[in-house]
Amino acid sequence: MYKRFLMTALVAASLAVAGCGKSGSEGAASGGDNAPVRISVGSYNLNNLPFFIADSKGYFKEVGLEVKTENFAQGGSKVLQALVANSTDVAVGFYDHTIQMQAKQKDVVAFVLLSRNSGLVMAGRDDATFDPARPETIKGQKVGITAPGSSSDFFVRHFLAQHDIPVDSISLIGVGSGAAAVAALEQGKIDLLVNYDPAATLITERKVGKIIIDARSDDGARQVYGGLYPTSVMYANQSFLEQRPDAAEKIARAEQKALKFIADNSAEDIVAALPDSYVSGDRATYARAVENARAIFTKDGHFTPADLETPLKVLREFNKDVANHDIDLSKTYTNAFVERASASAPAAQN
């Protein structure tokens, strides 16, 4: 709690020094930290849509921040590695990675929650032999995930742990996300695919296969995990948040703009705002995927502490480092920056 109090105090002190007046540009209102920020994203999954919108709509520039983005398109674990190696400043990845890092004595802190729920599905071709009512039928299957160490990987390991099935009874294969992941299923390279929208919608729209387990809705997530499973976040090393609180607040403000745009606009208008590089498949199908995923997004980037217990419980089932470590969830996230963003730019949120 002391660490989080210190972080909040640092934000407040920085803003007090920089000044919070609204004269001039919107960016000037949140302080003088205008140095570029490197932001890396792990995939084109729709869980990360608020970041894509903020980038495409120029919201970072509007709040006075220059960002340099990189998309690894290989899963969140690659982005996490880049963050720990200090080759990026901020990651767009999944919240559960902050828990993993605390177990390794690394202070990685989530500071904006983009997606409040999993968004994951498990799909198979129409002739799939796996039946979740008979968990043992997963044995011998080739299961596609975005990447080893990703939350799609955790989804599979959670299912196996729940049913006392050894991990080595299946083959886990990294296939990325979006259209590439769907192609792996369609071409028979894998038997099952654990992925997010737009892949989930692409599978049904293209009649590649069927959804076998669906955790996109709140009810579905509770059936799979026992509760909501927060996923996409903006996270950074604690040192970055302490050294550049103004930049973190600007990122939070840009993401709040993006979340509001998603909430206020049709799926078609949301997709129209994206460049082709962010769209998997044709735009009409992608718009349907956006509509299917709409319920997972937060309204303003705030974390709900009780929901963070779910990923901790899941990780403890198969991650020995997490299971053997006394995890303090209050050190894995902070609401300080979204709260400051809301307070310093009320007009932008209305």
pLDDT band at 8 (very low <50, low <70, confident <90, very high): very low
pLDDT at 245: 97
23-76 tens-digit pLDDT: 334 544 445 567 899 999 977 789 999 999 999 999 999 999 999 988 755 566
Q: What is the mean pLDDT of residues 87-104?
A: 94
Q: Contact at 8 Å (CB) between 189 and 173?
A: yes
Q: Could you tell me the end-to-end alpha-carbon distance of the chain, in angstroms, rounded to an integer?
A: 32
What share of the chain in percent tops pLDDT 70? 87
* Rounded distance between C-alpha atoms, residue 44 and residue 51, angstroms: 10
Which pTM was predicted?
0.83
Tokens of 224: 């799979």
Q: Show the CA angle centred on residue 346, arms to residues 344 and 350, nearest 5°.
A: 155
DSSP secondary structure string for all residues of 197-266: TTHHHHHHHTTS-EEEEE-SSHHHHHHHHSS----EEEEEEHHHHHH-HHHHHHHHHHHHHHHHHHHHS-
Of the candidates 65, 347, 103, which has an alpha carbon nearest to the alpha carbon of residue 234?
65
Q: What is the mean pLDDT of residues 106-115?
A: 96
* Rounded distance between C-alpha atoms, residue 180 and residue 170, angstroms: 21
* Rounded distance between C-alpha atoms, residue 141 and residue 129, angstroms: 9
Select the more confidently predicted residue: 178 or 64. 64
Q: What is the mean pLDDT of residues 10-28?
A: 40
